C-alpha cells in the first residue's frame, strides 16, 4: 500500500547540521535502525490474502490425501459468491516484485513475456523509430515537390484538377504536410526532453551510503515502495523536498507508457480518436474541473484556512448545515448523500440559500457563495472549449484522412514517383490507420480509471498523481530485479499493458476456483457447456 507519510512526523532520528561528527554518526545509526523497523513493519502489514492462500495451498500439496472440498454444494449458492474472490492488493503488487523467496508471492511471472510478446516488443521498438522517421521523410518529400521544385505548384493544381477538387484543396494538401512534419518533430523533441530529464536525475543522484547499502533484504524490498523513497535516493533528511518516489522513475514511466506508444501510432488521424462518439462522455469527465472549483468554494465557505478535507467531509458538512437548520424541512437519505460530489453539495447549498436561509457568519463565510457565479462562468466556458475542441479534432482528422487517401491515389497513379516513395507512404498510412484508435492505450486507460478513479469513474488531479507515483514505483521495482535480464526488462517496458496492471493489482482467493467448479458442474448438467469444447476434450481424453 502506498503510505503517504506525514511530512511533519519524524522518521527515525533527524540529523542536525550543527551536530558533532560523533553525534552525527550516532544519529545516522539510530535513524537507520528506525527506518529498518519501519520497513519491517510495512512488509508485515502488506501480507495479503494471496500470501495466506499460498501457505494453505503449500500445506495441501504436502498432504497425502486428495482434497475433495469443492466449495459451495449448490450451484445457486455459488452464484451468490460470484465476486467474493475479487480483492485488491493493498500495495498494488509492488512489494510482490521480488527475485527470491520471501513472505510474499512473487508476481514477477505475471510481467514476463512469452516469445510472441517479445516479438511484438521488437516490432513496437521498430515502429517507434520508423513511424516518425517515415512521417518526416514523406512530409519533406511532398513539401519539396510542391513548394521548392520547378513548376511544383502547377503540378499540384493539375493533380487537384484530376481529383475534381477546388482550389482550397491546394492549401489543404500543403497544410496537411506541414502539420505532419511539425507533429513528428514536436513529439520527438518531447520524448527527448523526458530522456534528458531522466539522465539529469541520474547525474544528480548522490552515491548511496554504505550503511544503507548493508540494509537487509527485507528492508530493501519495501523501503522504496511503502515510505518516502526520495530520502534514500536524494539523501534528504528534512521534511522539505521529500518525494514519495524518485522523480526519475516517474519521468521514465511517462517515457515508456506514454511517449513511445505515441510515437508508434503518431498521426494527425489520431485526432479522430478524441472525437469518437462512444468516448465523448468519458473524455468530458476528465476534461471537467467542476468538482475542483466547487471544492475551493466550499473550503472558503467553511473557513478551512489551509486545512485539507476530503470531498465526503465537505459534502457531510453541507448536509449538516441544510438539515440541522430549523428553517428548512429538507432531509437527505444516506443513499443521496453518498452520491454527492462537491459540485452537487455546492448546488444544494446555493439552492438552500436562495430559498431565503442564511448562514451563521461567525462560523461560515457566506460571501464565497456570492462569488460562485464565477465558477458557473468558468464551467460554461469550459464546456464551450470542450465542444470546440471536439469539433476541431473531428474536422482536422477528417480532412487529414481525406488528404491521405487522395495523396495515396495520386502517388500510385503518378509515373514519375519512385516505387519506394509509394510503398513508404502506403505502409505509413496503413500503420497510422491501425493506430488511429490506439487500443492498448485505451484498455490501459480503462483499467487505470477502474483502479484509481473510484465510483465516479473519473481520475482527479490527486488520483492522477497517485497513478503516476504507482507507475514510477513499478518502474523502479522492475529495474531492480536481478534475476530478470535486461532484454526481458525492455520487453516488459515495451509491452506493459492493461493485463499486467490487472494481474498486479487484483488478487484472487480459492473461492473462485471452488465457485468455478460448481458452475462448471451446473453448465454440464444443464447443457450450457460449449459443444465444440466438449468434442475437443473427448478427442484428447478418449
Asked if the structure places residue 158 within a domain, the reply is: yes
Which of 388, 422, 438 is the C-terminal boundary of a domain?
Answer: 438
Does residue 182 sit within a domain? Answer: yes
Same-domain check for residues 253 and 334: no
pLDDT at 259: 93
- Give the mean pLDDT of 85-89: 74
In this structure, the answer to whether residues 122 and 185 fall within a common structural domain is: yes
Provide the pLDDT for residue 438: 85
Q: Return d(Cα 34, Cα 13) in angstroms, integer.
A: 7
Q: Tell me if 227 is assigned to some domain.
A: no
Statement to judge: residues 308 and 334 lie in one domain: yes
Of the candidate ranges 168-177, 189-198, 236-245, the one whose mean pLDDT is the lowest:
236-245
Q: Are the C-beta atoms of residues 227 and 38 closer than 8 Å to each other? A: yes
User: Which single residue is written with the C-alpha cell 528534512?
Assistant: 238
- Residue 249 neighbours by CB distance under 10 Å: 26
Same-domain pairing of 248 and 338: no
Rounded Cα–Cα distance for residues 311 and 180 (Å): 43
Torsion sign across C-alpha atoms 316, 318, 322, 324: positive
Q: Do residue 410 and residue 318 come from a single domain?
A: no
Whether 25 maps to a domain, the answer reads: no
Indicate the range of 46-50, 102-106, 107-111, 534-538 predicted with least confidence.
46-50
Under DSSP, is residue 61 helix (H, G, I), strand (E, B) or coil?
helix
Top pLDDT among 157 and 87 is at 157
Q: Which range among 186-200, 239-253, 295-309, 444-458 has the greatest average pLDDT? A: 186-200
The residue assigned the cell 509491452 is 495
Determine the pLDDT at residue 103: 55
Report the pLDDT value the prediction gives residue 26, as an integer from 0 to 100. Answer: 41
Same domain, 300 and 334: yes
Written as nine digits, the cell of 280 is 465523448
Classify residue 260: in a domain, yes or no: yes
CA distance 519 to 81: 11
pLDDT of residue 5: 38
- Region 513-528: mean pLDDT is 79
**41 or 492: whose pLDDT is higher?**
492
What are 379's three cell numbers? 464551467
Residues 321 and 346 in one domain: yes
Q: Is residue 107 included in any domain, yes or no?
A: no
Q: What is the pLDDT of residue 217?
A: 41
Q: Copy the grid coordinates of residue 504.
A: 498486479
The distance of Cα 245 from the centroid of its chain, to the nearest Å, equals: 16
Where is mean pLDDT largest: 66-80, 238-252, 456-470? 456-470
Q: Can you tell me the distance from the alpha carbon of 177 to that of 473, in angstroms, rounded to the nearest whole number?
A: 40
Distance, in Å, from the CA atom of 71 to the CA atom of 516, rounded to the nearest integer, reads 9
Banded pLDDT at 321 (limits 50, 70, 90): confident
- CA-nearest of 492, 496, 490, 481 to 98 is 481
Are residues 298 and 370 part of one domain? yes
Q: Do β-strands 506-507 and 87-88 pair in parallel, antiparallel, or remain unpaired?
A: antiparallel
Of 343, 378, 413, at which residue does a domain stop? 378
Q: Report the pLDDT value the prediction gives residue 39, as an integer from 0 to 100.
A: 43
Q: What is the pLDDT of residue 331?
A: 56
Average pLDDT over residues 435-455: 87
Percent of the chain with pLDDT over 70: 73
The contacts of residue 435 (CB under 8 Å, 6+ apart) are 264, 265, 266, 267, 270
d(CA 343, CA 341): 5
In a domain, 248, yes or no: yes
**Confidence at residue 334, expressed as pLDDT on a 0 to 100 scale:** 56
More confident residue, 341 or 183: 183
CA distance linking residue 95 with residue 104, whole number of Å: 8
176 lies in the same domain as 305: no
How many Å apart are CA 271 and CA 436, to the nearest integer? 8
Q: Residue 229's pLDDT is what?
A: 37
Which residue did the predictor score with more confidence, 217 or 103? 103
Give pLDDT, residue 66.
Answer: 44
Q: Are residues 203 and 121 in the same domain?
A: yes
| pTM score of the predicted model | 0.75
Q: Label residue 13 by pLDDT band (50, 70, 90).
A: very low
Q: CA 168, 170, 175, 180 torsion: positive or negative?
A: positive
Smallest CA-to-CA distance from 229 within 464, 4, 16 is with 4
DSSP 108-169: HHHH---HHHHHHHHHHHHHHHHHHHHHHHHHHHHHIIIIISTTHHHHHHHHHHHTT--THH
Q: CA 450, CA 193: separation in Å to the nearest integer?
A: 30
Residue 507 β-bridge partners: 87
Is 70 exceeded by the pLDDT of residue 7?
Answer: no
Q: Residues 509, 57: contact at Cβ < 8 Å? A: no
SS3 36: helix
CB contact at 8 A, 489 and 478:
yes
Report pLDDT digits (tens) over 327-355. Answer: 444 555 656 666 788 888 888 888 888 88
pLDDT (average), residues 385-408: 92
| Percent of the chain whose pLDDT exceeds 90 | 21
User: Domain tally for the chain?
Assistant: 2
Q: Assess contact for 131 and 144: CB atoms under 8 A.
A: no
Q: Return the bridge partners of 88, or none.
A: 506
Q: 3-class SS at 189?
A: helix
**Separation between Cα atoms, residue 55 and residue 76, nearest integer Å:** 29
What mean pLDDT is reported for the chain?
77
Q: Which residues, at least 6 apart from 327, have a Cβ–Cβ distance to it below 8 Å?
A: 356, 357
* CB 475 within 8 Å of CB 253: yes
Long-range contacts at 167-176 (CB < 8 A, ≥ 24 apart): 169/406, 172/399, 172/403, 173/142, 173/146, 173/403, 173/406, 173/407, 174/143, 174/146, 174/147, 176/268, 176/399, 176/400, 176/403, 176/404
Q: How remote is the C-alpha of 331 from its chain's centroid?
A: 39
Mean pLDDT of 44-63: 53
Residue 234 — very low, low, confident or very high, per pLDDT cuts 50/70/90? very low
Candidate from 234-243, 247-256, 493-502 with smallest mean pLDDT: 234-243
Task: Determine, yes or no, domain membership for 363.
Answer: yes
In 10 A of CB 352, how many CB atoms? 20
Give 416 or 126, the one with higher predicted confidence: 126
Range of the domain at 179: 116-209+244-276+401-438
Question: Could you report the per-residue pLDDT of 412-428, keeping only the tens digit for each?
Answer: 888 878 888 888 888 88
**Confidence (pLDDT) at 48:** 54
Tell me the three-class secondary structure of 336-390, residue by residue. Answer: HHHCCCHHHHHHHHHHHHHCCCCCCCCCCCCHHHHCHHHHHHHHHHHHHHHHHHH
- Whether residues 272 and 408 share a domain: the answer is yes
User: Which is it for the CA torsion 309, 314, 316, 321, positive or negative?
Assistant: positive
Q: What is the mean pLDDT of residues 32-40?
A: 48
Query: In this structure, are 263 and 405 located in the same domain?
Result: yes
Amino acid at each position: 500500500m502506498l503510505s503517504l507519510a506525514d511530512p511533519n512526523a519524524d522518521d527515525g532520528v533527524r540529523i542536525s547540521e550543527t551536530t558533532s561528527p560523533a553525534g552525527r554518526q550516532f544519529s545516522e545509526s539510530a535513524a537507520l535502525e528506525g527506518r529498518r523497523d519501519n520497513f519491517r513493519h510495512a512488509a508485515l502489514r502488506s501480507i495479503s490474502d494471496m500470501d495466506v492462500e499460498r501457505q494453505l495451498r503449500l500445506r495441501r500439496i504436502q498432504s497425502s490425501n486428495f482434497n475433495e472440498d469443492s466449495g459451495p454444494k449448490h450451484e445457486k449458492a455459488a452464484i451468490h459468491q460470484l465476486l467474493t474472490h475479487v480483492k485488491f492488493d493493498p500495495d498494488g503488487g509492488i512489494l510482490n516484485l521480488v527475485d527470491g523467496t520471501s513472505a510474499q508471492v512473487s508476481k514477477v511471472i505475471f510481467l514476463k513475456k512469452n516469445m510472441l510478446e517479445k516479438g511484438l516488443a521488437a516490432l513496437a521498438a521498430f515502429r517507434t523509430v520508423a513511424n516518425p522517421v517515415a512521417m518526416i521523410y514523406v512530409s519533406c518529400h511532398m513539401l519539396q515537390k510542391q513548394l521548392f521544385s520547378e513548376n511544383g505548384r502547377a503540378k499540384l493544381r493539375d493533380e487537384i484538377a484530376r481529383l475534381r477538387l477546388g482550389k482550397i484543396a491546394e492549401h489543404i494538401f500543403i497544410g496537411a504536410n506541414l502539420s505532419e512534419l511539425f507533429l513528428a518533430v514536436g513529439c520527438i523533441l518531447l520524448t527527448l526532453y523526458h530522456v534528458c530529464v531522466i539522465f539529469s536525475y541520474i547525474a544528480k543522484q548522490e552515491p548511496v551510503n554504505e550503511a544503507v547499502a548493508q540494509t537487509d533484504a527485507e528492508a530493501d524490498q519495501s523501503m522504496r515502495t511503502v515510505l518516502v523513497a526520495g530520502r534514500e535516493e536524494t539523501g534528504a533528511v528534512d521534511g522539505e523536498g521529500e518525494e514519495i518516489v524518485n522523480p526519475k522513475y516517474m519521468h521514465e514511466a511517462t517515457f515508456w507508457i506514454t511517449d513511445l506508444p505515441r510515437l508508434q501510432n503518431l498521426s494527425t488521424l489520431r485526432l479522430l480518436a478524441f472525437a469518437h462518439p462512444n468516448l465523448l462522455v468519458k473524455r468530458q469527465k476528465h476534461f471537467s474541473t467542476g468538482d475542483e472549483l466547487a471544492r475551493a468554494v466550499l473550503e472558503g465557505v467553511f473557513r478551512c484556512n489551509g486545512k485539507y478535507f476530503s470531498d465526503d467531509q465537505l459534502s457531510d458538512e453541507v448536509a449538516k448545515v441544510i438539515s440541522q437548520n430549523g428553517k428548512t424541512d429538507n432531509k437527505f437519505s444516506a443513499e443521496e448523500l453518498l452520491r454527492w460530489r462537491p459540485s452537487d453539495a455546492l448546488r444544494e447549498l446555493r439552492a438552500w440559500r436562495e430559498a431565503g436561509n442564511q448562514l451563521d457568519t461567525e462560523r461560515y463565510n457566506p460571501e464565497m457563495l456570492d462569488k460562485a457565479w464565477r465558477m458557473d462562468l468558468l464551467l460554461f466556458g469550459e464546456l464551450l472549449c470542450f465542444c470546440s475542441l471536439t469539433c476541431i479534432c473531428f474536422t482536422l482528422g477528417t480532412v487529414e484522412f481525406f488528404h491521405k487517401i487522395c495523396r495515396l491515389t495520386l502517388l500510385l497513379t503518378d509515373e514519375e514517383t519512385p516505387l519506394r516513395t509509394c510503398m513508404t507512404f502506403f505502409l505509413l498510412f496503413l500503420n497510422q490507420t491501425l493506430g488511429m484508435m490506439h487500443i492498448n492505450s485505451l484498455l490501459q486507460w480503462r483499467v487505470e480509471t477502474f483502479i484509481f478513479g473510484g465510483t465516479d469513474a473519473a481520475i482527479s488531479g490527486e488520483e492522477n498523481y497517485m497513478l503516476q507515483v504507482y507507475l514510477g514505483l513499478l518502474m523502479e521495482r522492475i529495474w531492480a530485479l536481478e534475476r530478470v535480464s535486461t532484454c526481458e526488462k525492455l520487453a516488459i517496458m515495451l509491452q506493459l499493458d492493461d493485463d499486467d496492471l490487472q494481474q498486479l493489482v487484483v488478487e484472487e482467493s480459492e473461492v473462485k476456483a471452488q465457485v468455478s467448479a460448481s458452475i462448471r458442474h451446473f453448465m454440464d448438467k444443464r447443457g450450457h457447456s460449449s459443444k465444440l469444447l466438449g468434442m475437443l476434450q473427448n478427442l484428447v481424453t478418449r
